[in-house]
Structures are given as structure tokens and as C-alpha cells.
Chain A
């Protein structure tokens, strides 16, 4: 039988290795393994075989296969042997009731458009390997979707899981210029619809928050795994909230045209009818500029009565919009 090369040959070799090491009842020496896994015969010499075998062991461990080294029994000098214990390899038996299966399916489908789509589907297939009962499609009329459109998601998730420091180029909100940041990742968090990384900023020597969509280019690992501890009391949401402090609201009075300003009316503290054309709306706001922007969008349907500062901000915006759109392009 000819020995194929390429990825298929490697899959075959690794699968044979797993089968051999699961089947054996005592640890096997490297020489024994080389004799029984046929694909190792392609190695031209001992050195090449050693390299191949070392890489294969790393690959299997990366996959989560618990390949262990054990002392051989007497008579084998000091040599070590290898095996995989079935009890450590196999997923423990676990049974799920119908409603648990439904929510597990939902949890898995939540990643359908994300980089974890494959692992999510595979996990479900493992859990349901021996469970042949078919489910109807989602019995729950609700679909949460977790999207990961940011290319840095996978690298940062892996770095946070393995506790490995990284560097990346980070763009500020208000400019295209990026600076390189060094970070010990703590947590990757979806918050208000955006993915964030929290961690220890190595340059600023303080906890910081990074928005994944502002990371430009790749993520580079700079340290070894498990190189730092994540503070036990780390609360990522608190850290994120700190970047957006609460302010006390200020009152405003607006004149709003009848049948218009729906979103404002919804938030109003009180609404009085002036005449058939206008209502008087009492409403709270936080940031003058943000609120002025919102009010300007209503054009002639909303007029600010008070405060003067807000009226001026709206007027300036409208004026700027008028001038910018009157210029010949």
C-alpha cells in the first residue's frame, strides 16, 4: 500500500497513534509506537522520526487528547512509555432532558455567525453522540446571536484563556493614528453590542479597556502561557462603566409640532398642548451637544424654548448644516 502524503496522511497517522495508545494496556515505548503506526515508516532516520513524533504529541495535546508519559516496568532501563487513558480521554456520560437539550441547541446556534460556530456545533455533537432522539427545530421563539466580526477576537480569547501577554496596534476613537499597546489580557466581553478586551496595560501599568473594533492589524503574543494572574476581584463591567460616568440630568423646554417628535414625547416628563400646532414638552437631557444634535435632526418640527445654551447649540448646528449644503460641491 502506498503511503499518501499531505494533510490526509497526517490525519491518518495521528488517528492511528490515538487508536494505538488508547488500545494498549501498558505504556508503549517510542520504538514500539514506530513499529505499529505505519506512517512513521516514512521517516528516513531516527532523528526525523523523533521530530515527527514530538510534533504529533504536541498536536494531540493541543486538541485536548490526554497523552501521558509513564514509567515502564522493570527491565526497560529508564525509558518512558506513552499511553492515553480511556477514563481521561472520554467525555463523561451526561444525559440531558428535553428542555435542557433545547437550551443547549439555542446556546450552540447563538454562535452561528461567529468564529466559534465550528466548536459550538462540534460540542453539541459530542454531547449528543449517544442521544439519538431528534429535536424539533428551536422550540423557543427567541434567537440570541453572538457575532464576532472583529478579526482579533480569536487571538485575544486564546490569549486570555492561556494568560499570555500580547501587543497590538490600537486606534483612538477620534483619529486614524494607531499606537502599539502591550497588554496582559484578562477578559473578552460583549458589552452593549461590542466586543471589548479588559486587561493590564503594560505601558500605563494600569487596568485598561480596549474595543476590539479599534484594533488594527494582528495580535502578537509576547509572553509565555500562564505568565500572570488575573485579579480575583476583576469586574469587567465595572471597568467598562467607569469609562462612561453618569451625569445628573438638566431640564429643557421644547416646542414640538403636533404629531411630530415621537421619540421626544416618549421620554418627556410632561407634555402641554399650546394650540392645534404646538405642544410644550418638558424633558431631561445629559449632554448639551448630544441633545442639540438630536433636536437639530427634527428640523423645523422642534424649537428649543429653554435653556438658552441648548437653543444656541441647536442653532449653530443647523446653521453649519445649511452653510455646508449650500456650497457648490
Chain B
């Protein structure tokens, strides 16, 4: 589906113009390109592209036939002629310059990135080409400050690029367990200033996302790491945490001081209750982390249902208190 989504129906006249001024030079340099291919590369539907071409066909520096843009696409191939005036793209706009320059500067922050030199060269060229729009990029900053083991990051990346299986020792604080796993990696991600390794975990027989700061050991093996055909990278639009079919619904009451929980974890519902607290429901397959969270927040985070989970918290707390002779 990548790149094939049409622009929103409510595209403004101005953003369509901006798109057309970008599209024309792109097509002029690709005379005869297949209609479907062009639409896919331009990130629009074929219907949208056809309607754009119909509009271009009506425009020109005058209204005599030889003054109008000539656009043809009847045979499924796109040709644009008589568009010399706009055959070069318009300079980068503010947001365009900001997006690429800030994006490149973010790459520069990745520890141990081998392409640093290419990033610097691309930045220099881009800043020169963007002119005054480049200054806008100074108003937006990205600081990737997450501490990450450089050797682990480099190893994970190398494993993705060379398609090698990795052996991990991985810590799950929510379950207080450290396990060994064989993983066929698909990609290394940085999201919200955290590094993740996503891949097919042979231990879980499923796709898993591992936080790099919880990887205790990482070894790139010589074994082919091509993931099984059913392995697919998750749709990041849905977030990294996705509910499964067997998950159970848990209701939790949060006190004022624990309201951050409803921002931090993906909740199904959240309502304000008395004294500035919240009642949330969430779906999870693994409940041990919730028990730990309840212990951690000492009465500010109370599991209301299911009943079994509620008594599990009180039992754990009582058993821990015996060590303090309470």
C-alpha cells in the first residue's frame, strides 16, 4: 500500500497547485512513463493523476492551442509537452526544507552511523539549494539522546543488511526475566527516542519488537536470517503495541499521581473519576507487568477486575511485606 494512498478529498486549491508544480518537472523528465507507475511513484491514485492531467491540459501562458500545455495519456503512457515555463521544480518551501534538513540532522545523531559523511555532503548541498528556507530548519530540532550500546546497534544493523540471524539475551523487566532468543531481524527503528529491533522471534514463533536498551547481549550468527514468509513488519501507524485475540480486558483505577499511566500505555478507554483520577481499561495478553505496576504505584493504581488479578496483587504485596516483619 505504500505510496498508493490518494490525497485527502479535501485537498485545497493551493496544495494541489503545489503538487502540480512538482509533478510537471518530474513527468517531463520521465516522458512516456506508464500511467500506473507514475501514479504509484507520485503517491496518488490513477484517477487523481488523470484528473490532474486533464487540468494541466487546460492551462497555458495563453489560451491559443499552441500556448497550452500538451498532456497525453491515452495509451497508458504519459507525455507532457509545451510546459517549459514550469519544467523546473519550484524552490523548496519552508516545510519541505524543514522536513529534509531536520531529518538529515536527526540521522547525524545516530551513534556510529557509517554514512555520516554522506549525510554531511547531502546537508551542505540541500542547505545551499534551499536558500532562505533553510533558516526555518533552525527553528525545529531533534535530539536523539537515547543511550544505546553502539556495538549492539551496529550488530543489529549489520544483521538486517546481511540478513543474518541474531542471538539475543533479552531482559523483560515487566516479567523480571532474562531470556535467550534467536531472532531473524527485519529492521532497526528509532521511535520516540528509543531504539528497537523488530524481527521474527523463534522462541515466541512470532513477530516481536525488542527494545535495544534491554538487549544484554547480541551476537550476529552466520546462519541465514531470512524470516519465515508469514513474518511482516508491523504497521507503525498502529503503534508498537498491538492487542492480540486472546488478550483479556483489565479495568484499572488510577489516582491523581498515576494518571500518566493512561498516556503511557495503550488504553482502550479512559474516563475521569472523582478526586482527579481516571478509570481505564486495557487489553493485554501478559498480566504480570500490570501486577508489578500495581505494586510499584502502591495504591495509586488499583486493578478492579478481573478479580483474580486483583487478589494476585494483594497476595504479592502481603508476601513481600513478611520480609519486613509486617
Contact = CB atoms under 8 A, between A and B. Distances in A.
Interface of A: 7-8, 10-12, 14-16, 18-20, 22-24, 36, 38, 59, 62-66, 86, 88-92, 94, 96-97, 99-100, 102-104, 106-108, 110-113, 116, 118-132, 139-147, 157, 160-161, 174-176, 185-194, 213, 236-237, 255, 260-263, 266, 293-294, 296-301, 303, 311, 314-326, 329
A142 B110 contact: yes
A123 to B, nearest CB: 4
14 contacts: A12-B58, A14-B17, A22-B61, A96-B122, A126-B25, A126-B96, A127-B89, A141-B159, A189-B140, A191-B145, A193-B192, A299-B291, A300-B319, A317-B298
What bracket does the count of chain B residues touching chain A fall in?
A: 35 or more
Interface stretch (B73-81, B128-136, B201-209, B241-249): B128-136
A116 B90 contact: no
B90 A63 contact: yes
Contacts of B139: 157, 160-161, 185-188
Contacts of B173: 262-263
Contacts, number: 371
Given A107-B104, A325-B294, 13 more contacts: A15-B55, A18-B21, A18-B85, A22-B86, A66-B91, A91-B88, A94-B125, A127-B89, A130-B29, A141-B185, A161-B140, A301-B176, A317-B296
B269 interface: no
B106 A144 contact: yes
B55 A260 contact: no
A96 B100 CA distance: 14
A100 B100 contact: no
A120 B119 contact: no
Contacts of B263: 213
A92 B125 CA distance: 10
A187 B136 contact: no
A296 B324 contact: no
B98 interface: yes
Contacts of A121: 43
Contact of A315 (B62, B146, B156, B324): B324
B189 A143 contact: yes
A284 B300 CA distance: 26
Interface of B: 11-23, 25-26, 29-30, 42-43, 55-56, 58-63, 69, 85-86, 88-100, 102-104, 106-107, 110, 113, 115, 117-119, 121-122, 125-126, 128-129, 133, 136, 139-146, 156-161, 171, 173, 176-178, 185, 187-194, 216, 236-237, 256-257, 263, 272, 276, 291-300, 302-305, 310-311, 313-314, 316-324, 326
Given A23-B85, A90-B88, A146-B103, A123 B143 contact: no
B106 A146 contact: yes
Interface majority SS (helix, strand, loop, mixed), chain B: helix
Shortest 9 CB-CB contacts between residues of A and residues of B: A107-B103, A141-B160, A317-B298, A320-B299, A193-B192, A123-B96, A10-B13, A193-B193, A322-B317
